[in-house]
Structure 1
Amino acid sequence: MHALKKNRPLRRVTLAAAGTVTGVVLLLSLKPHTPPAVAQASAASGQSKSQSSGSSSGSSGSSGSSSGGTKSTGTKTVTGDTVQTRWGPVQVRVTVRNGEITEVTAVAYPQGNPKDQEINSYAIPQLRREALAAQSAQIDSVSGATYTSDGYKRSLQSALDSAGG
């Protein structure tokens, strides 16, 4: 007969309890990618830094408008604020020609691990298409890329505000 079957039934209980405790400890020791409190605290410092050097050309004033339709003529290329998200920074550069958004480029976005790369490989082009179609920052979020989408929209809006000033 096997040693755990009849002779020592408490050994099975002890081993099962030790295995359960070990599993719970390992599960609780896992850390999230980035704690939300840290991301929120660094968002304020990231925005204040990028507001002083956020635009690459054009006016740096804010118009408060949510559309890309500006009244000025010519071409402006403006880089929006760097928005700190839970998974990393997002920053967008916009080219506005005669009041129309002609190009939107994601300058920075989360790509530190394979999951970020997978998500953003489809999210960034989709957000770009929507911004060009909408001609504003009033675009839908991409399912599965909520943090990147929110950061993209906020950076896009800051770039449009700078371009339209």
Structure 2
Amino acid sequence: MKRIVFWLVGTATAVALLLGYRTSLSGPMTTAAQPLAASSPGGANTVTGPSVDTRWGPVQVEVTFNGGRITAVTVPVYPDGNRKDQQINARALPILVQETLTAQSADIDTVSGATVTSEGYVSSLQAALDQAGR
């Protein structure tokens, strides 16, 4: 009898937790931005890749070139609709940026646990590199 009670309580708890879980699909969505390119006086060139829609939200990459090298990468748009997204991307985005600076290309590995964001990042990055003629 005790086993049945524990099983019922456990099942009810699991169902309640599953039904109460909020995904980032309910988070804010932005429209796709058109790629932009801007030059600054010091010879630096900044290219913004398109906003790539992923399962968890859009990802957009901005790349700065100086002397033909990638000198900076920022990610102005990324999934942040809930705490899980924020935790994943707080860990994954710095890794993706560092790998980009090291590789000087979009030929980088995805970050384990952030595959969807990584794929959106690489797509936007590659589009920015293509726009810059790299």
Q: TM-score range by the shorter chain?
A: 0.7 to 0.9
Structure 1 residues 140 and 56, CA gap change in structure 2 (3 angstroms)? same
In the alignment, what sits opposite 2:93? Answer: 124
Provide, for residues 68-95 of structure 1, a one-character-per-residue CA deviation record: whole Å limited to 9, x for no partner.
xxxxxx4210110101111111111000
Structure 2 residue corresponding to 1:94, chosen from 63, 66, 80: 63
Provide, for residues 111-134 of structure 1, a one-character-per-residue CA deviation record: whole Å limited to 9, x for no partner.
121111111111110000000000
In the alignment, what sits opposite 2:81? Answer: 112
Q: Does 1:85 align with 2:54?
A: yes
Report the count of equivalent residues.
126
Normalised by the length of structure 2, the TM-score is 0.75
Q: What's the secondary structure of 1:57's corresponding residue?
A: strand
In the alignment, what sits opposite 1:55? Answer: 36
In the alignment, what sits opposite 2:23? Answer: 33
After the TM superposition, which parts of structure 1 deviate over 3 Å for at least 4 consecutive aligned residues?
22-32
Q: What's the secondary structure of 2:93's corresponding residue?
A: helix
Give 1:33 shift. Answer: 2.0
Structure 2 gap ranges (5+): none
Structure 2 residue corresponding to 1:145, chosen from 106, 114, 121: 114
Letter in 1 for 2:38: S
CA contact (8 A) 2:61 2:74 kept: yes
CA distance in 2 between partners of 1:95 and 1:125 (Å): 16
Structure 1 residue corresponding to 2:102, chosen from 130, 133, 140: 133
Letter in 1 for 2:23: H
Normalised by the length of structure 1, the TM-score is 0.62
CA distance in 1 between partners of 2:97 and 2:15 (Å): 43
CA distance in 1 between partners of 2:88 and 2:53 (Å): 17
Q: What's the secondary structure of 1:92's corresponding residue?
A: strand
Query: In percent, how many aligned pairs have the same letter?
Result: 51
Letter in 2 for 1:54: P
